[in-house]
Homo-oligomer: A and B are copies of this chain.
Amino acid sequence: MAKHRPYICGIDAAMDVVGGKWKGLILWALHEGRRRTGELRRELPGVSEKMLIQQLRELEADGIVHREVYREVPPRVEYSLTERGVELNDALSPLSAWGQRHMPTIHAQREATSRA
């Protein structure tokens, strides 16, 4: 996770919660509804099992996602957004729109500068 220093501002705090390598993507996936662990893994191309679970645990600790275990065999675990998680996702949506808009340019610029 991160350091326990006092936050400098709201951005600082929000970034600390959502800044993990896969957290934005996890949140976005859960936006569409609850998901089993395996479903999430399949929806996030490239995530390792270790990472996925670690990030989910951190989000859970921050009160963003809710983890529900069904005592079945084989085991079933479902993740969903808490109320706070829904709020966070809403707050993320302008950022998402910005990303959509600028994604092609950014990608192209990085390709270009890495060739130089």
Contact B90 A94 (CB under 8 A): yes
Residues of B within 8 A of A4 (CB): 107, 110-111, 114
Q: Is the interface of A mostly helix, strand, loop or mixed?
A: helix
> For residue A112, which residue of chain B has the nearest CB?
B61
Assess whether A9 is interfacial by the CB under 8 Å rule: yes
Contact of A110 among B61, B90, B99 (CB under 8 A): B61
Among A17-25, A34-42, A73-81, which stretch is in contact with chain B?
A17-25
Assess whether A88 is interfacial by the CB under 8 Å rule: yes
**Residues of chain A whose beta carbon lies under 8 Å from any beta carbon of chain B:** 1, 4-19, 24-25, 27-28, 44-46, 61-63, 84, 87-88, 90-103, 105-107, 109-111, 113-114
